[in-house]
Structure 1
Amino acid sequence: MLAVGGLTRLTGSGLSITEWDPIVGAIPPLSHADWQAAFSKYQQIPQYRLENAGMTLEAFKGIFWWEWAHRFLGRAIGFAFLLPFLWFAATGAIGRKDWGRMLILFLLGGLQGFVGWWMVQSGLEVRVSVSQYRLAIHLGVAVLLLGAILWVGLEYLRGRPEGHVNKTTKIAGWFTVLVFVQMLLGALVAGLHAGLVYNTWPLMDGAVVPEGAFSDGWLSFSENPGLAQFDHRVVAYAVALFAWFFWSWLRTHSKPTLMVRRAANTVLAVTLAQVVLGVVTLLYQVPVALAALHQVVAALLFSAALWLTFELRRAQSFIA
């Protein structure tokens, strides 16, 4: 779902469906007249008038199918969660004590659909793209849902962690938060198209800090494309250093279990891969395939960091 969402954004398809109908909207246009009606609605928004004027119906179908697939997959995920839950709850495979948090997971999925439409609305009247703030919130809720599902799944697979949370586990938790923040910064970069303004590395067109970075005061952090990219770069370095030092510390100052070692090795490997991928994506001016892969690997890094936190929590009695 994160991959399809990223591709929908990268192909400029997110505003191609201008209405939100959770039930009837699951059915795509079935006739030429239906396609013309959908295209006519798209032609009324600023993105078409200012960026895509003259687009053919066939070209419109290309972006429509990306957005439709994204929404359809969201609906499918809802059913893929709800129907098995009802069956497992009825048969006792999921105990009554766990019904509450399963409901929370389902409601988070519903909230994500609402936030997605709220994001789309921001690009229908004045803007030619969605608000970078709402894009970041949309991605943030998706990542939180991913993390919640992963944690619950790990508890069923590995057993629920018990006892006090020690300092080592807290450090891993803060690393997970840092990765989450970095993903939100990436959403701001995407929303501002900031990946296209400075395509050199390690400097930004010969400078450490881009020219005019703070021209809008505090708003520059979320409104200035150059500063948004700079922030994303700096936090990427922080993530890489954090991952390296924490991996080294675990090996030299503790006796990690096998699963902790595997999780820590995974975090370090995915971090290094993500840094290299980010630099290459920037240097090649954000091609769609690389940018989408960059988002997917970010989700993998978040998942690996959460897995490490979970394993440390389980094995805290074995960690110095």
Structure 2
Amino acid sequence: METDIKEIQAGISRLGICSVCVSSSAKYTCPACSAKTCSLACVKTHKKNANCNGTRNKTAMVHKEEMNNLTLLSDYRFLEEIDHKLDDNHRHPLRRHIMLKHGERPPLPHFLQRLKSEAWNRGTLLKFMPNHFVAHQENSTRYYFKEGIIRWHVKWIFHQADVTFVDKDVDENTTIVKLLSKYLEPNDSLGAEDSEKLAYYHSASYGRVAVLLRTNEKGSGPAFEEAFMKKSLRLNLANKTVIEYPVFYVILRDHIHSYLEYEADDHDDLFCEKEEKEEEGESLGYF
């Protein structure tokens, strides 16, 4: 009994009286502002009244004469926390890309370097988005060494029908008109819903349809350029910049001028597909 009384008295003499209720001996010290409290209710009241978050400022100035073993231990743990955070950032695919110095890019895998080189030999500047972008993850374009050809991942956007198709493993020597035949001519390979959406295209002849290649990087000039339907995919991509894979807009020729006269604008998302981003404020860079 006497021991308990001594311990209570020692607590009172060490922490004093609760700064909130001013009636009980204090049991807790706020890590942020060192306010003394006696209970959970008083802790909550203190945080609300003083607008205090209760989190210690790890970078606050501490005078030399006020330092003790707890201060040194806290600083050591703070440095360890920073080290773990840096290591986590280097492992995270998104943060690793952002943390690079200006002008630096993560190294491309060998097969993508070879693909980029072969595209360059054909007059096509091929660029890749960072790994966390959806377009990069879904891109199936590859260079086949034994065949000596590039097989492209191609996206077709039928703007007036509001429907999109993707072709994979497309031989670069195939003509545009041959690739489009399965979409512009009624056949059983398309589902009933897609066929219904493309009905207006099916009723139009090839001469009334235009194919436009999205040619620009955002804000760099004309957004579309008409493709030659009777020429191969390889020839249509020559002297062009392609980001990940070619995207073709298939439109009715009556509407072609509204596309060719359109210029990319940083604030215009009419024809831009929005990528899912893991964090806000990320910077976009190409390989």
TM-score w.r.t. length of structure 2 = 0.24
Which has the higher Rg, Structure 1 or Structure 2?
A: 2
* RCO comparison, higher one (Cα < 8 Å, 6+): 1
TM-score w.r.t. length of structure 1 = 0.22
Larger helix proportion of the pair: 1
